[in-house]
Amino acid sequence: MRKRNPNEMLLQGNEAVAEGALRAGCRFFAGYPITPATEIAEIMSVRLPRLDGTFIQMEDEIASLGAVIGASLAGCKAMTATSGPGFSLMQENLGFAIIAEVPCVLVNVMRGGPSTGLPTFPAQGDVMQARWGTHGDHPSIVLCASTVKECFDLAIKAFNLSERFRNPVVLLLDEVVAHMREKVVLPAEGEVEIVDRVKPKVPPEWYIPYEDTPSGVPAMANFGEGYRYHVTGLTHDIRGFPTSRPDEIGPFNARLFRKVSQHFREIEMGEMDFVDEADITVITYGCVARSAKRAVRDAREMGIKAGFLKLTTIWPFMRGPVERALKTSKAVLVPEMNMGQISREVKRVNQAYSHVHTLNKVDGTIITPEEILGRIREVV
């Protein structure tokens, strides 16, 4: 009999998110039950108290993210999980976390919409909302999982990026990925890279909470440790106090973007197969990436030179790999379970390199390998 590997588990996607968050050091969760994300809250409600952490079921999603922001300011790695309607309610507090530079993780398990929509069916309609849902110009870091193992890995990555850049990070799943079960082998304790926020190395009286640094990321002191500073949703100066001076506002907003843009190589993640030799490349993400990978494999067995590009980092948009696919392929196909949110970005960067084709589905069912293969055969 084969000896059982204690790190080998049969996990649901939502379970893997919770496991990854706990492994990353999450010790605070505030949320409100919502299909199809509720399992994450259920697991955290059981596991966090055993780790001397805190779980709070809030009265709604607005309060949930507010509590998460407060916990992070006090030094906890904190997260919430929701789906489309709850994610909509979180947008104002998401903007607050961005301008106040409060690290936290928001998991959005996408379902059909708009409004209450299709609570138990998958969709990918929140991609643009994850980038532009909160008002004003702002940097966004958004990741998207397509396997159960990625749910675990990207939960850890989301916390690491959030702490590293003092910025909220959104992790997108869809109902299919959240509720499927797969065998995964988790790394042993101590084998996972964990990133913590940079703490100030100066005494409290010298601390500048929003100081510009070469990385664009200021050190962050935890409330309750003797460092007192002002936190506001207003545009503020380097000490956190509201300002109307253009010479302070411009550099502040520029730094918010620079701290993410100049470190893009640390954020960019994806998977690329056969792109440099492809006549047609399928650009995909989330659960549709699973169908696309099979369709590309079947197309190549039929003699069609097909390539595969999966976007794991959704925002900032992976322009470099997409441009590479556009330049080397005669055509690209973007299948997605919305009316064309990522395909618009692909077309935006195309610059007449290639022909961009789409395959859109919004009926609550997954795009199948056969549908993608059929579309490939239509356009090559």
pLDDT at 206 > cutoff 90: yes
What is the torsional sign of CA 313, 315, 316, 317? positive
Q: Are residues 25 and 156 in the same domain?
A: yes
**Can you give the CATH number for the domain in which 361 is found?**
3.40.50.920
CA 268, chain centre distance (Å): 11
Using one digit for the tens of pLDDT, what is the confidence trace for 293-318? 999 999 999 999 999 999 999 999 99
Q: Which whole number is the average pLDDT over 63-88?
A: 98
Alpha carbon distance 154, 68 (integer Å)? 19
In a domain, 242, yes or no: no
Q: What contacts 65, CB < 8 A, 6 or more positions away?
A: 30, 80, 90, 93, 94, 97, 104, 106
Q: Are residues 40 and 169 in the same domain?
A: yes
Q: Are residues 180 and 326 in the same domain?
A: no
Task: State residue 200's pLDDT score.
Answer: 96
Using one digit for the tens of pLDDT, what is the confidence trace for 150-170? 999 999 999 999 999 999 999
The mean of the pLDDT values for the chain is: 96
Percent of the chain whose pLDDT exceeds 70: 99
Q: Are residues 12 and 151 in the same domain?
A: yes
In a domain, 259, yes or no: no
Q: Are residues 179 and 275 in the same domain?
A: no
Q: Which whole number is the average pLDDT over 167-179?
A: 98
pLDDT at 270 > cutoff 70: yes
* 77 three-state secondary structure: strand
In a domain, 306, yes or no: yes
Q: Are residues 22 and 143 in the same domain?
A: yes
Alpha carbon distance 86, 103 (integer Å)? 19
Alpha carbon distance 329, 13 (integer Å)? 33
Alpha carbon distance 296, 375 (integer Å)? 11
Q: Are residues 48 and 158 in the same domain?
A: yes
Task: State residue 2's pLDDT score.
Answer: 64
Using one digit for the tens of pLDDT, what is the confidence trace for 227-249? 999 999 999 999 999 999 999 99
Residue 4: band (very low, low, confident or very high) from pLDDT cuts 50, 70, 90: confident
Tokens 């993608």 belong to which residue?
372
In a domain, 154, yes or no: yes
**Full domain range(s) for residue 165:** 8-185
Q: Pick the last residue of a domain from 185, 217, 252.
A: 185
Q: How far is residue 370 from each of residues 38, 293, 296, measured CA to CA in Å? A: 32, 11, 10
In a domain, 352, yes or no: yes
Looking at the structure of the chain, the number of domains it has is 2
In a domain, 255, yes or no: no
Residue 1: band (very low, low, confident or very high) from pLDDT cuts 50, 70, 90: low
Q: Are residues 48 and 167 in the same domain?
A: yes
Q: Pick the last residue of a domain from 185, 201, 235.
A: 185
Beta strands 54-57 and 8-12, pairing class:
unpaired
Q: Which whole number is the average pLDDT over 198-202?
A: 96
- Going along the chain, which residue ranges are E strands? 8-12, 26-31, 54-57, 77-82, 104-112, 118-122, 141-144, 168-174, 181-185, 270-273, 280-284, 306-311, 313-315, 331-336, 355-360
Global pTM? 0.96
Q: Pick the last residue of a domain from 185, 219, 248.
A: 185
Q: Are residues 13 and 132 in the same domain?
A: yes
- In the chain, what is the greatest distance between 2 CA atoms, to the nearest angstrom? 72
Residue 49 burial (10 A CB sphere; 0-12, 13-18, 19+):
exposed
Task: State residue 352's pLDDT score.
Answer: 87
Task: State residue 133's pLDDT score.
Answer: 96
**Can you give the CATH number for the domain in which 54 is found?**
3.40.50.970
* 242 three-state secondary structure: strand
Using one digit for the tens of pLDDT, what is the confidence trace for 318-374? 999 999 999 999 999 999 999 999 999 999 999 888 999 999 999 999 999 999 999
pLDDT at 5 > cutoff 90: no
In a domain, 147, yes or no: yes
Task: State residue 296's pLDDT score.
Answer: 98
Q: How far is residue 42 from each of residues 31, 71, 329, measured CA to CA in Å? A: 10, 19, 45
Task: State residue 7's pLDDT score.
Answer: 83
Task: With both helix axes pointing from N to C terminus, report the angle between 369-379 and 288-301 in degrees, rounded to the nearest 10.
Answer: 50
Alpha carbon distance 41, 18 (integer Å)? 8
In a domain, 315, yes or no: yes
Question: Is the Cβ–Cβ distance between 87 and 127 less than 8 Å?
Answer: no
